Structure 1
Amino acid sequence: MEQQESLGTVLVAGAANLTIALAKLVAGLISGSAAMLSEAAHSTADTVTELLLLVSVRRGSRPADRRHPFGHGKAGFVWAMMAAVATLVGGAGFSITHGVHEISHGEELSNLTPSYIVLAVAFAIESVSLAKALSQLRSQAARYQIHPVRLVRTTSDTALKAVVFEDTAALVGLVVAAAGLLGSQLSGSALWDGAASVAIGLLLLVVAITLIQSNLSLLIGQAAPQRIQTGIRAVLLASPEVEDVVELLTMMIGPGSVLVAAKIDFRDEASAAGLEIACDEVDRRLRERFPGIRQVFLDPTPTLRR
């Protein structure tokens, strides 16, 4: 269900960014504004990002097969990483270099009215896209009973995280671009417009690096969030067959998908047949409590007592 929601969120964001990118490009060419051209590059990079995130959602949702017994969930992290790199290179790189060029050469701006109109319309469209992403974020936060801000920091749903970060950055970038245009118009100096372009690039740089670090951690083998680990341990200890949890290991194997491996000290009176039944029962309880759990491996291990 979360993957279906993420797919809808990505499609809305992609359509919005493509429309906005074309409008910003036209306005930037008319005005000669570096900030507007940077915003066009920003929206173009976001459009490429949404396409890569779309691939991420589709590839990551493929079922497990013989060659990939744990599923294709981590493919979603790979494509989300590529999307973050696209933002870094296409958006941040162009914005910073073009802004520095304008500051150095002081290009004269012309008719800025189309730019202001495009920025206002873009702000409205980006707001709709962000509202869609925030709606999904609040829905998931309510499902997991945590604050939305905490969820967006820890979620393995890389598509949702990318859209929230990039749409937020887009709205901030639009305000910065408008401030740069207004500053240049009032002062007659292109310095403000160039500085706005650099600021937009730095904003995208921060977003891209944050998303790259997040996806890199998931690709390496990030553990499930602490609240889930705590919940898993509580379910295990609450099981009447379990004496103690010797060791608990978890790993995110896809957006919202968790692998659990635990060394369990079962009660001594359990027979071999009883252990099989107990493991099956514990597995069932874990999956009922946490639907995101895809694989459970339990190793009967006695607690070392000194």
Structure 2
Amino acid sequence: MTGNYPLTRLRRTRASAWSRTLHRENILTPADLIWPLFITSGEGVEEPIASLPGVSRWSVDLIVARAQEAVALGIPVVALFPNTPHDLRSADGAEAHNPDNLMCRAIRAIKAACGDTLGVLTDVALDPYTSHGQDGLVDEAGYVLNDETVAALVDQAVNQARAGADIIAPSDMMDGRIHAIRQALEMNGFPNVQIMSYAAKYASAFYGPFRDAVGSGGLLKGDKKTYQMDPANGDEALREVALDLAEGADSVMVKPGLAYLDIVRRVKDEFAVPVFAYQVSGEYAMIEAAAAAGAGDRDALVLETLLAFKRAGASGILTYHAPHAARLLHG
């Protein structure tokens, strides 16, 4: 047999399953996942969220069961978000500082049940607590005040640390809040509480279902473009990350995820630090809608999109698909 055949055939390593496994560059495991959970008031309460099919709000007692499920699945961290009752929301978000609020009760209950087998990440921002739906305090014109908000966020963060939070995750995008929170944690005896900064959080159209979940969507007056990032900007994200790292962040987050994989890659390449990505509510809902319409296989869509985060350089992913993905990965 004669002929001029190619010496290199990249298909050789793809020809069988064992070879594809051997040559795989990126691997997704349950340990890469963080499971966001929504807390509601009451006991024995599960409230399905219409705009997030398959996701519910859970009362504190049932949140504990979800946390135990995470441990059983090998998911290392849950992220908590409260749906504060409307009668406890106010212009100054004072309920954020209540040591017996939904968030703090959930933290204590999860830590009592799971101890150090599960990390608890807590959101620091005022939007679940304010009557106007903004992440911070506002002036008479509706402008979100930076330094006054930072002071409130510091109190909120320390309140959560006292309840037992392992990772404080400021999602507000106020300037200087990482330094202020880091200093407060140190001064109050919490030197080992981590900060995962929402360092590059964009003013995105993908957050709608999340705002439904925490009850802030119908309350929001105006938008969040004066403090969340412009989707047109990439270099600015690197400046935000550099500042947060200099101020004491242990890890950083890019949010949303799939539409901003270029930012994940740039942050990882530039700083070589732990970078997390949030597969946000709108991205989750699109996958669920596609699967429901028969436009794609749900399991394949879930695993492929999560693997894309790893390929882009993410150390881990916050995703509402976490328990489903973990079960798929366990086989």
Larger Rg: 1
Q: When you count helix as a share of all residues, which structure comes out higher? A: 1
* TM tier, smaller: under 0.3
Provide the TM-score with structure 1 as the length reference. 0.21
User: Normalising by structure 2, what TM-score?
Assistant: 0.20
Higher relative contact order (CA 8 A, sep 6+): 1
